[in-house]
Structure 1
Amino acid sequence: MTGLRLGTTYLRSREKMKSISIRGALASLSLSMLLSSLGTSIANVGLPTLAEAFSASFEQVQWVVLAYLLAITALIVSVGRLGDIIGRRRLLLIGICVFTVASILCALAPHLWLLIAARALQGVGAAIMMALTMALVGGAVPKEKMGSAMGVLGTMSAIGTSLGPTLGGFLIANLGWQAIFLVNVPLGVLAIGLVLYFLPNDRSEKRADRAGFDVLGTLVLILTLLAYALAMTVGRGTLGPLNLTLLLVTVFGLCVFVFVEHTAESPLVRLTMFRNWHMSAGFVMSMLVTTVIMATMVVGPFYLTGALALNAASVGLAMSTGPLVAALAGVPAGRWVDRLGAHRSGTLGLIAMLIGACILSAMPMGFGVLGYIAPLTVMTGGYALFQAANNTAVMADIESQQRGVISGLLGLSRNLGLITGASVMGAVFAFGSASHDILQAQPEAIAQGMRLTFAVAAGLIVIALALGAVSKIVSRRLIAPC
């Protein structure tokens, strides 16, 4: 009896330690996700202060934000693949260190161009963290808990996005603009400690099993993605000669990349993976949905200010609704995915987004701010559910040696959706309002632009729903003969 009790106690202790280890690993990955998203949002609120501090124009200081985003977009796939080769834990530690050191350099920058360079370096660290957090979840969390883990990561990303403006404003007002970068330092040191303590060491592989790194493919992809990102950001949504040239460069670069990957001995991205309809649909759906979400960030401030005549404080409060809902919905959404399954949960999330977009596309101004916030809440809750489901579906059944690059592709699809949404949906809004200067447009014109924007958004969600249905049908047909 004593031996049986000792055995039971040992097993319980072992299970408890395993649970603590899983929670610690998830905490380290969550903090990495928080840092990368906070790095994006906290700098936006500091642009007016930075313009004054460096005696620069808005067009110049906006590169403090753009340099960070461009670095993430250009590198997220490449660093994901590099993690597959040299070890994800090792590269994640390097990424956090780069991010932390770059944060110090940002705070110490005596000139604007040095600050922009430091922000680009910070974006390199953020790209590594974004690419590898989801890749590492697969090895740190049991498969049956994958949805919950993805929900936690989604929550931390939303918290970083919503916390940035408030925390940044407080730090600037009390400690100066340098504080919005220095705040990352203690968080970075904590993240390094958690990763060292809780994440297991990378598994050593035989040299014969290790693939080489595709340098040429990486360079071509980086240049192609930079060309596309610049085409979408330069000129604030206008389609001028420079934008058209950059888009042509993007198309040419994509063709060159496909050729290079077909001929490479160890390609950066194995093009055969896109034969997996389920995975390919997941990438496209992620881009479509984040394009829609970006519409709320682009159109919302203009509608609330120009059509509903809210002051700046009220606009900020209304705009914080979306990130707040995403933060609160992330964990419950992950649990729903574990219970209902990824496909069903993703479909429910898209349906909720469609309902919200349709209401916004038909909403009269007479309903006021509540008429905007209520459907926005439905949309954002649906987005949280879709993201947890889609991330789980894409990352659940892939080979271990491909987790980094596929996680990077998933992150890239979201970033491309945000960049495309800011440009394209902004252009749709301007077209719908029939005004060359949105700031001078009449309230009804702005409301009309908002309705057209969300009508287009509803169409994009319908396309995402159709893609999800088709990928499910194709996957069943491919599995059926087996």
Structure 2
Amino acid sequence: MLLPSLSVSVANVGLPAMAAAFGAAFHEIQWVVIAYLLAVTTLIVGAGRLGDLAGRRRLLLGGIAVFTVATLLCGLAPNLPLLVAARALQGAGAACMMALTMAFVGEAVPKSRTGSVMGLLGTMSAAGTALGPSLGGVLVALLGWRAIFLVAVPLGVVAFVLTLRTLPGGAPAAAARRFDTAGTLLLAVTLGAYALAMTAGGSGPLTAGLLVAAGGGLALFAVTEARVPSPLVSLSTVREPVLAAGLTANALVSTVMMTTLVVGPFHLARALGLGPALVGLAMSAGPVVSALTGVPAGRAVDRFGAGAAGVIGLAGVIGGTAVLAVLPAAGVAGYVLPLVVVTAGYALFQAANNTAIMKDVPQDRRGVVSGLLNLSRNLGLMTGASVMGAVFSLAAGADDVTTAAPADVARGTHWTFAVAALLVAAGLAMILVSRPRSQVAGGPPAARADRPGRAPSV
């Protein structure tokens, strides 16, 4: 989980240097990021399902190998088109790594420690996000942009060796079933259209066309999955209230977390008048808190149960965003302290939600459900960057918030986080409605009698 997250955050820092090296405009160089995100988003569910059918360990090793080779190709790319192609290949490897790492938790870890391991995975992901900007800045300054890719190659080799030596082999969970190629392609096209609408479509006819294509693709995908004997995503599975609520809440909370990254820099710089160095320092609070709270959050899930921990985590996110919505521009502390509460709540919710969904998933569906969990997070992040950015601009009353008056930016911040609080409240309501009454009071996992064959909800 460290390497895929690091590959996103570290590449962003090197974009200006890459643009200068290749003589590329901004709209061209941004494809270095978009290609990676598109590959991860479109392939992650299919990668999880293929792991269920062909063997998760085998595909995870293949994904790490592809990721490592593609990372090397990124560092050696002689021109921008080849760099973008290598980034897409790197994203394909990352999709396998992200989907199957979480799927392995059910096989390699006792249920009593599932929360701790999920918290550790969250910590590693947050560490990659936090480490990327600082590490990337140093590498670009000292060695050039190619170093941000080449430094990850030995890490990929180490990950491959550790996976080969430590993870259990096991037989494919569903070797007799066929892979749903048609459904996989339809879902990839649908997700690709939505991802492009959120990341590169702007606000004109192109975005509308992409969203229409995504909606039509989703409808066609649902029809296809209802007819094939071995679907990529069983419709009965995603209609199960526990899983549906968990995935939806995951997307909503991820939307809110991206909101902090989109709105934060403008609020700190324009409303509070901070310089770039202080803005960067204040913005680092979120990833640092997330990295530090992941493991303790996982232990809390194991001790008190995913139900109670998930509700507390969501309550923390709601409380933090509500404070950001009503607090006046009261200096750096007035922004950072609620942000710390939001981030800690997010870490607790993630550990609880992932544990609740994954710990009782049938063996032959672990890969695809893990893929859906990762997908819901990615879709939330992309939606947050686009939709919540538009809410911020609208609330500030400015087409360009970089030149808006401080009071307008502060107003935009408050209204945007008010919307964010409502989104998380909706997610919490779905979680509470979907969960059995016996889990409302929480309690350690051993004290609960979850229904057989159904993953408990947070």
What band does the TM-score fall into relative to the shorter chain? Answer: over 0.9
Secondary structure at the residue paired with 2:435?
Answer: helix
Partner residue in 1 for 2:285: 321
Q: Deviations over 1:278-298 (max 9, x none)?
A: 111100000000000000000
State the match for 1:221 in structure 2: 187
User: Which of 399, 423, 433 is the aligned partner of 1:470?
Assistant: 433
Residue pair 2:10, 2:133 contacting (<8 A) in 1 also: yes
In the alignment, the residues of structure 1 paired with residue 173 and residue 136 of structure 2 have an alpha-carbon distance, to the nearest angstrom, of 44
Whole-angstrom CA distance in 2 between matches of 1:210 and 1:360: 53
The code of the aligned residue for 2:115 comes to: G
Q: Does 1:398 align with 2:361?
A: yes
* Structure 2 letter corresponding to 1:323: P
Equivalent residue, structure 2, for 1:22: none
State the partner residue of 1:331: 295
For the Cα contact (< 8 Å) 2:52–2:173, is it kept in 1?
Answer: no
Q: Which amino acid aligns with 2:44?
A: I
* Contact kept in structure 2, 1:41 and 1:164, CA below 8 Å: yes
Asked whether the 8 Å contact 1:80–1:128 carries over to 2, the reply is yes
Distance in 2 (alpha carbons) for counterparts of 1:205 and 1:346: 30
TM-score (norm 2): 0.95
Once the two structures are superposed, residues 392-428 of structure 1 have per-residue CA deviations (whole angstroms, 9 ceiling, x without a partner) of 0010111001000000000000000000000010000
CA 474–252 in structure 1, closer or farther in 2 if over 3 Å, else same:
farther
Question: What RMSD, in angstroms, separates the aligned Cα atoms of the two structures?
Answer: 1.6
Cα distance in 2 for residues equivalent to 1:275 and 1:444: 45
- Number of matched pairs: 444
Shift of 1:335: 0.4
- Of Structure 1 and Structure 2, the greater helix share is in 1
Pair 1:382-2:371 in alignment: no
Q: Would the aligned equivalents of 1:90 and 1:202 in 2 still touch at CA under 8 Å?
A: no
Letter in 2 for 1:210: A
- Counterpart pick for 1:417 among 369, 380, 400: 380
Match for 2:261 among 297, 304, 307?
Answer: 297
Which runs of no fewer than 5 residues in structure 1 stay unpaired?
1-32
Shift of 1:235: 4.1
SS at match of 1:46: helix
Shift of 1:347: 0.3
Taking a change above 3 Å as real, the CA distance of residues 271 and 204 of structure 1, as seen in their structure-2 partners, is closer
Q: Shift in Å at residue 473 of structure 1? A: 4.0
The match for 1:278 among 215, 220, 242 is 242
Post-superposition offset of 1:307: 1.0
**Equivalent residue for 1:244?**
208
Contact 1:150 1:391 in 2 (8 A): yes
TM-score (normalizing by structure 1): 0.90
Contact map agreement 2:44 2:374 (CA 8 A) in 1: yes
Q: Where does residue 446 of structure 2 map in the other structure? A: none
Task: Note if contact 2:317-2:345 (Cα within 8 Å) is conserved in structure 1.
Answer: yes
The one-letter code of the counterpart of 2:41 is T
User: 2:15: which partner in 1?
Assistant: 47
Residues in 1 aligned to 2:436 and 2:99: alpha-carbon distance in whole angstroms: 29
Which deviations, in whole Å up to 9, do the C-alpha atoms of 1:349-404 show, x marking residues without a partner? 01111110011001211x21111100000000000000000000010111001000
Deviations 1:93-133 (A, max 9, x none): 00001010001110111111111110000000111101001
Alignment of 1:158 with 2:116, yes or no, is no
SS at match of 1:45: helix
User: C-alpha separation between the residues in 2 aligned to 1:370 and 1:346?
Assistant: 26
Q: Give the % identical residues.
A: 58
